Structure 1
């Protein structure tokens, strides 16, 4: 039988992030999860999927793949890029987003939080 930790990982549930966590903590947690998932892949075919459960699009278009930072199930406005459809390029895009988030604080994301409340 799998452990609770294994099941949480399998279903992409991060128990360390609670609703009171700020956007920076949520984004960092998600970025780390995305990089952990990418580290398991050997080829770009593994980036393909049926649903958008990760920061990369489930399909590539014309040799490019959209990579967008998200937390709480929503894309962060303005944080989307088109990367070459290679494992290295997608990983580099996620790592760049992670660095950006590391240099931020919750105030950086105040506009995004406001935008989400209006919807």
Structure 2
């Protein structure tokens, strides 16, 4: 039978605070992503509407997937008494990267965006 690792109270508290920060980052990313279709307002006939739709869907879905995965992995690590504080930090990075991927798709679908 294996020994249990010691409980690290600081890791539990820090992980909980970082999960709340992860949720705040996810809500912020979603509020930014919801307005991405407005980038096509000045578009004429040259926009790729399908690519804009895919970009918006990715900008909304990827942050949610990254946040849910990070929360589940954090809980599993805490139950197994492994260091877990870094998982929500990685999740925040995943949220940002997911939003940037979707936004990049939207921006590249609009000619002369830059």
Report the structure, 1 or 2, having the larger strand content: 1
Quick check: which has more Rg, 1 or 2? 2
Give your verdict on TM over 0.5: no
Report the structure, 1 or 2, having the larger helix content: 2
**Taking CA–CA contacts closer than 8 Å with sequence separation of 6 or more, which of the two structures ends up with the larger relative contact order?**
2
* TM-score normalised per structure 1: 0.30
